[in-house]
Structure 1
Amino acid sequence: MKVLKFGGTSVGNADRLRKVCKLLNGDEPIVVVLSAMAGVTNSLVEITELVKSGKMLQAIEKTKELEDKHIKTAEELFDSKMYRKRGEEFISNLFLRILSKLIDGYNQSDSRNIVALGEQLSAGLFHIQLTEQGKRTAYIPALEYMRIDKDGEPDFFYIEQNLKRLLHTNPFANIYVTEGFICLDTNGLVNNLGRGGSDFTAAIIGNVLNANEVQIWTDIDGVHNNDPRYVTNTCPLRQLSYDEAAELAYFGAKILHPQTVHPCKAKDIPVVLKNTLNPADEGTVISSVKNRKRIKAVAAKDGITAINIKSSRMLLAYGFLHKVFEVFNTYKTPVDMITTSEVSISLTIDNTINLENIVNAISQFAHVEVERNQTIVCLVGDFPASHKGYTAMVFDCLREIPIRMISYGGSVNNISFLIDSHYKVQALRLLQQLFPAVSVSNSTQQSIEANIF
């Protein structure tokens, strides 16, 4: 069995949905995981914000606009009048539930029900489309098997038991359609796996079903060696190890959700990143195979806040770091990077919800300074401690960029540094010098890399 996830741009309109349908050939059982159509989740979040602000009329108008968009998609998607009517009725029924909540009485718990609508719409329409095309298909609602525990982590036992039960009740099908992103919490309320969570959904399904492959379909030819939004001469990477892919995803490679890799790595399931708009391209394969001694890619993570902690009590003392990290544990705030000296600690976070509480708590025993609008730039590859030259190459490229923090040695797969976000694009473009041009041969590549050692 394979698991195929299609992102928002891949299902963004009727034409894209038809192209996805054509990709589903053969008799091998597959699970198709769908995101909401591009832009829909943002619109649904906007509707919830309008309601919270008391702008109910504007929220209702926005909801009707979104309904009209999906009705138009249904009109263009289906070939027969019967299936167009079926699609339109499906859309109207879903939006009626939301409009009823807005009109009859909205409460805070309704927000996630509204945000979940995007995936339910795309999955439902796609299932109807497959049915019209004569495919052997079944719709498997994510809210009947996908659940997170009290810590927000997937409940793998519950998911496996319920998903397998649902698949077994539809033995005639070989294409199972489900929603990404959405789930239930331990109280049975609608929740989600976070932005980009459809990738995570596909990986979880792959894990519990012991799939032989998980495919993530987007609108780009796999993972590139740099950010193509800012750097013009990037090229796709054809192979990454699980650890390299996890580092890239966490530090800013938007093509993959950061948590996608781990469920697949646990079962040694290859993850293939493909392009819906160019399906013939081989994409990027993420597996246990490792390519040694090479700089693979650059990624950047924005929205970083640096916290600088200084105290003379650190000098020749023990227990100080424990005291600091106890504060972060109390406020459930992960730390990205950390550097230390005899009397100071600098660390970074990307979640500032509890920043004020954290600063107040640490200020009771140390001096604290905060720097916002920072970016972590991460180089990913294979950097064994026994080999020389990597850091010299990297920082020679960045000699004109002020560097705030450096992290090297904690992982053999990355070198990270912190800069002001103002310098991000310049840094990415300068680091592209580390990669040979697309046209450079493998022998030339090896010669370039040989000069490192």
Structure 2
Amino acid sequence: MKIYKFGGASIRDAVNVRNVGQVLQAVGYTDCLIVVSAMGKTTNALEAVVARYFSADSNIEEALETVKDYHFQIAYDLFPNSKPGLFTELHQLFEKLANFLSVNKSPNYNFVYDQIVSYGELLATVILHHYLESCGMPNVWTDARNLIKTDTTYRDAQVNWELTQAQIGSEIRANALHITQGFIGSDDNGFSTTLGREGSDYSAAIFAYALNAESVTIWKDVPGVLNADPRYFKETTLLEHISYQEAIELAFYGASVIHPKTLQPLQQKEIPLFVKSFINPLLEGTKVSKGVALKPQIPCYIVKKNQLLISLSALDFSFIMEENISEIFKLLHQYNIKVNVIQNSAISFTVCVEDKFNHFEAMRTVLSKQFKVSYNEAVSLYTIRHFESQSADLVLQDKTLLLKQVNRETIQMVIKE
């Protein structure tokens, strides 16, 4: 089978839902399983429902109505003359969601989050299922929660591979078009779980692994994977091929290629992954598989904005030793601050970090008892894979270099812009 994954942008309105049908007509859909994300910004809207649920003085009905109106508008746009089956199923899903909100007794935020947010994918697939049926593309709507079985680590559930493979193998049949949800699964008690960051891509990889699929295709609004972010670089080049290992390397440094957890099951069975454009579906796009690291072999630029560069030295000017570094990393872990670059000398230790949860000030108070702390806020981290001599010059134009680190394949520079 072939696995196709369509993200939220590809089904954000009726025009784009129709386009999915056109993509499938163009590339073929026999013997295919489609994994679908929530529509547009639905996950954000459902997160607002969760937030209001835990805020006693908030109007939860208003937040829920926003989600409802959005999905019913898309359904009306697709079926202006009505389609009773679709509208009935949408009403049923919203009734189930409202019922959960009224009867739930659990105070566990992560548990409640998964039960609510999972409805985004369910609503999206019901609409797509009915639309494709109306286009003469019969398909089987399948609840991914019956197939992807996980533990109870809500919001970052770990897959029970043995049970999941058995469920998928028994439920998914060849020579049919299946529509199912990305991002969601269920635990042993039947409660919804979600798979964490890039969960829908990961779902596609899980299905591919369990079905020994021919390939996975992720459909995006770009022609494939580019060697640089066009928001920061005027000239970019499409990467025709990336090896599994290189894709994992790029993701590690922050490139929005494919998350490593998606690549790992595909690499184990050597299932190729394609990143293609749902705007121009017949273009070749990017292929991720075994083989050469990059084609073409050119520098790849990765940018991380809003970084923090911290330098530490001992108050008595003594050496920074292993025990000091161990203590520093314990604090970084404790305050949930992500480290992107490390550099040390005899009497100083420097890290470029991402303070996503704004915990640095609290950590700095603790660090100041043992170290002299200096730092630069709002710096940028540029990573260049397969760099050439002029690559750094291109990045450094009109910028101040604060830190540089070089190895055989990669150069990293922390810059004040």
- Same fold, judged at TM 0.5 (above): yes
The answer on whether the counterparts of 2:313 and 2:371 sit within 8 Å (CA) in structure 1 is: yes
Residue 12 (structure 1) aligns with: 12
TM-aligned CA deviation for residue 221 of structure 1: 0.5
Report the secondary structure of 2:308's partner residue.
strand
Residue 380 (structure 1) aligns with: 385
The answer on whether the counterparts of 2:225 and 2:275 sit within 8 Å (CA) in structure 1 is: yes
Q: Normalized against structure 1, the TM-score is what?
A: 0.78
Report the secondary structure of 1:244's partner residue.
helix
Following the alignment from structure 1 to structure 2, what is the Cα–Cα distance between the partners of residues 380 and 273?
A: 20
Change (3 A) 1:233 1:144: same
Following the alignment from structure 1 to structure 2, what is the Cα–Cα distance between the partners of residues 121 and 102?
A: 17
Matched, 1:366 2:371: yes
Matched, 1:342 2:369: no
The one-letter amino acid paired with 2:21 is C
TM-aligned CA deviation for residue 333 of structure 1: 5.1
The answer on whether the counterparts of 1:310 and 1:344 sit within 8 Å (CA) in structure 2 is: yes
Following the alignment from structure 2 to structure 1, what is the Cα–Cα distance between the partners of residues 97 and 319?
A: 59
Report the secondary structure of 2:340's partner residue.
coil
Following the alignment from structure 2 to structure 1, what is the Cα–Cα distance between the partners of residues 157 and 268?
A: 14
Following the alignment from structure 2 to structure 1, what is the Cα–Cα distance between the partners of residues 94 and 144?
A: 18
Residue 407 (structure 1) aligns with: 405
Change (3 A) 1:42 1:87: same
The answer on whether the counterparts of 2:75 and 2:127 sit within 8 Å (CA) in structure 1 is: yes
What are the ranges of 5 or more consecutive residues in structure 2 without an aligned counterpart? none
Matched, 1:137 2:136: no
Report the secondary structure of 1:347's partner residue.
strand
CA offsets 1:392-440 (integer angstroms, 9 cap, x no match): 542365153112222321xx543222224xx2xxxxxxxxxxxxxxxxx
The answer on whether the counterparts of 1:197 and 1:257 sit within 8 Å (CA) in structure 2 is: no
Q: Which deviates more, 202-211 or 245-254?
A: 245-254
Report the secondary structure of 1:261's partner residue.
helix
Residue 426 (structure 1) aligns with: none
Change (3 A) 1:204 1:406: farther
Matched, 1:69 2:74: no
Following the alignment from structure 1 to structure 2, what is the Cα–Cα distance between the partners of residues 140 and 160?
A: 19
Following the alignment from structure 2 to structure 1, what is the Cα–Cα distance between the partners of residues 203 and 295?
A: 31
* Superposition CA RMSD, Å: 3.3
The answer on whether the counterparts of 1:137 and 1:176 sit within 8 Å (CA) in structure 2 is: yes
CA offsets 1:227-254 (integer angstroms, 9 cap, x no match): 2234443332222222332343344444
The one-letter amino acid paired with 1:29 is D
Matched, 1:324 2:322: no
TM-aligned CA deviation for residue 187 of structure 1: 7.8
Matched, 1:198 2:200: yes
Residue 88 (structure 1) aligns with: 87
Number of residue pairs matched by the alignment: 408
Residue 209 (structure 1) aligns with: 211
Residue 248 (structure 1) aligns with: 250
Report the secondary structure of 1:24's partner residue.
helix
CA offsets 1:272-293 (integer angstroms, 9 cap, x no match): 1111111121111122222489
Matched, 1:97 2:96: yes
TM-aligned CA deviation for residue 33 of structure 1: 0.9
Residue 56 (structure 1) aligns with: 58
Change (3 A) 1:125 1:173: farther
The answer on whether the counterparts of 2:30 and 2:175 sit within 8 Å (CA) in structure 1 is: no
Picking from 274, 277, 291, the partner of 1:275 is 277
Identity %: 27
Q: Which deviates more, 158-167 or 276-285?
A: 158-167
TM-aligned CA deviation for residue 20 of structure 1: 1.6
CA offsets 1:104-138 (integer angstroms, 9 cap, x no match): 67854423322222111112222233344454532
Change (3 A) 1:54 1:210: same
Residue 393 (structure 2) aligns with: 395
Report the secondary structure of 1:404's partner residue.
strand
Following the alignment from structure 1 to structure 2, what is the Cα–Cα distance between the partners of residues 374 and 313?
A: 27
Picking from 300, 307, 312, the partner of 1:309 is 312
Residue 386 (structure 1) aligns with: none
Report the secondary structure of 2:11's partner residue.
coil
Following the alignment from structure 1 to structure 2, what is the Cα–Cα distance between the partners of residues 360 and 202?
A: 44
The answer on whether the counterparts of 1:314 and 1:320 sit within 8 Å (CA) in structure 2 is: no
Following the alignment from structure 1 to structure 2, what is the Cα–Cα distance between the partners of residues 99 and 318?
A: 54
Following the alignment from structure 1 to structure 2, what is the Cα–Cα distance between the partners of residues 171 and 293?
A: 38
Q: Which deviates more, 322-331 or 223-232?
A: 322-331
What are the ranges of 5 or more consecutive residues in structure 1 without an aligned counterpart? 384-389, 424-453
The answer on whether the counterparts of 1:138 and 1:170 sit within 8 Å (CA) in structure 2 is: no
Report the secondary structure of 1:10's partner residue.
helix
The one-letter amino acid paired with 2:371 is A
Report the secondary structure of 1:337's partner residue.
strand
Residue 300 (structure 1) aligns with: 303
Residue 440 (structure 1) aligns with: none
